[in-house]
């Protein structure tokens, strides 16, 4: 039987691009391999952006090709901020391309130098490109700053839902909501995901939560309670956003897996092998601090996973 939920590991992209250190390519490949061995079925392995802007991602095409060739049974995902990046991602063989569309105009201009309306037009071009070159690939939108913006402040929920509908109408396969700035709370998460699922049905996508104010797991659980079944997480809690000051890392994969498994909800992830992947991550970034309460405390005595 398939696991009950999908943990989408975003550390190799969201985590690595948010730190100054560049992980050597060989270590990236070993880390991705270890994550697959642990049971992660969807991994965002990099971002197709100019190397001069993010040297951490200069080897992204090589990482995608490695993951696709060695692990054809998983979903190899990459982020692309525009049509050019999407074209490179599809050429490299990515199974899914994620585009960042921000609900906050201030964040959108800072992050991709386009308004949200212009990004919807970019989406339409990417969908047309996909149809012509890689019709089997999936196109996903992570709706950034859906729960608030450190640059703009509050983001009206009606604006978030309106933009999500526009993205879906542009032809993408999924639209998820991202707490880019770590401003979300569980009541807000329930409201927005309930509305999103009501408007988009099966196109309503992942919950991408940050742990900036310690509410990451609570927000994931709130999303689960209203029907969300895909959750982004980053091993070791790496991540953030250079255009969202003060937004610390993503929900820690190890903690999220433990929470769901302890509740009897099958993630398909082997916790011991997930810790082995954490060792592979630390080997590639020996001076980078890693986070997580469960890795620090260890598993409870007699603990058994859901599966």
Which pLDDT tens digit goes with each residue over 45-61? 999 999 999 999 999 99
State how far Cα 107 lies from the chain centre.
18
Residue with the two structure tokens 């999908």? 6
- Please work out, in degrees rounded to the nearest 5, the angle formed at the alpha carbon of residue 91 by the alpha carbons of 129 and 135: 45
- Using CA atoms, how far apart are residues 69 and 63, in angstroms rounded to an integer? 10
Helix (H, G, I), strand (E, B) or coil at 125: helix
- Tokens coding 240: 């953030």
Task: Report the pLDDT value the prediction gives residue 141, as an integer from 0 to 100.
Answer: 97
Contact 257, 271 (CB under 8 A): yes
| Mean pLDDT for the stretch of residues 270-277 | 97
User: pLDDT category, 109, cuts 50, 70, 90?
Assistant: confident
Q: What is the dihedral of CA 48, 50, 56, 60, to 10 degrees?
A: 30
Nearest residue to 263 (alpha-carbon basis) of 224, 235, 292? 224
Residue that has been written with the tokens 């890689």 in this structure? 134
Average pLDDT (246-274) is 91
Contact 220, 226 (CB under 8 A): no
How confident is residue 3, by pLDDT bands cut at 50, 70 and 90? confident
Mean pLDDT of 61-70: 98
pLDDT at 161 over 80: yes
Is the Cβ–Cβ distance between 241 and 111 less than 8 Å?
A: yes
Please give the model's pTM, rounded to 2 decimal places.
Answer: 0.95
Query: Rounded to the nearest 10 degrees, what angle do helices 271-284 and 253-262 cross at?
Result: 170
Q: Which of the residues are catalytic?
A: 241
Say what the pLDDT of residue 112 is: 80
Residues whose CB is less than 8 angstroms from the CB of residue 289 and which lie 6 or more positions away in sequence, other chains included: none
Burial class for 171, CB neighbours closer than 10 Å (0-12, 13-18, 19+): middle
The model's pLDDT over 207-256, given as tens digits with 9 standing for 90+, comes to 999 998 899 999 999 999 999 999 999 999 997 655 555 556 789 999 99
Question: From the CB of residue 106, how many other CB atoms can be counted at a distance below 10 Å?
Answer: 16
Could you tell me what percent of the chain has a pLDDT over 70?
96
Mean pLDDT of 67-96: 97
Could you please state the CATH topology (level 3) that the domain comprising 6-297 is classified under.
Answer: TIM Barrel (3.20.20)
């Amino acid at each position: 039987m398939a696991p009950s939920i999908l943990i989408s590991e975003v550390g190799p992209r969201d985590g690595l691009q948010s730190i100054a250190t560049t992980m050597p390519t060989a270590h990236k490949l070993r880390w991705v391999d270890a994550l697959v061995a642990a049971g992660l079925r969807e991994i965002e392995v990099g971002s197709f952006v100019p190397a001069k802007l993010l040297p951490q991602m200069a080897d992204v095409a090589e990482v995608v090709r490695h993951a696709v060739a060695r692990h054809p049974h998983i979903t190899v995902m990459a982020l692309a901020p525009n049509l050019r990046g999407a074209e490179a991602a599809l050429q490299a063989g990515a199974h899914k391309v994620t585009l960042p569309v921000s609900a906050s105009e201030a964040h959108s201009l800072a992050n991709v130098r386009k308004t949200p309306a212009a990004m919807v037009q970019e989406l339409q071009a990417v969908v047309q490109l996909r149809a012509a070159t890689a019709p089997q690939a999936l196109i996903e939108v992570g709706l950034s700053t859906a729960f608030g913006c450190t640059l703009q402040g509050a983001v009206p929920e009606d604006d978030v839902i309106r933009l999500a509908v526009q993205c879906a109408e542009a032809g993408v396969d999924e639209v998820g909501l991202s707490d880019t700035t770590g401003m979300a709370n569980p009541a807000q998460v329930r409201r927005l995901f309930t509305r999103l699922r009501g408007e988009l049905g099966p196109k309503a996508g992942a919950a991408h939560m940050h742990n900036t104010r310690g509410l990451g797991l609570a927000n994931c659980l709130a999303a689960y309670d209203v029907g969300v079944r895909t959750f982004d997480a980053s091993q070791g809690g790496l991540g953030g956003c250079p255009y969202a000051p003060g937004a610390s890392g993503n929900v820690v994969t190890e903690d999220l897996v433990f929470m769901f498994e302890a509740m009897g909800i099958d993630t398909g992830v082997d916790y011991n092998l997930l810790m082995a992947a954490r060792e592979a991550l630390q080997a590639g970034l020996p001076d980078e601090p890693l986070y997580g309460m469960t890795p620090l405390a260890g598993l409870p005595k007699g603990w058994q996973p859901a599966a």
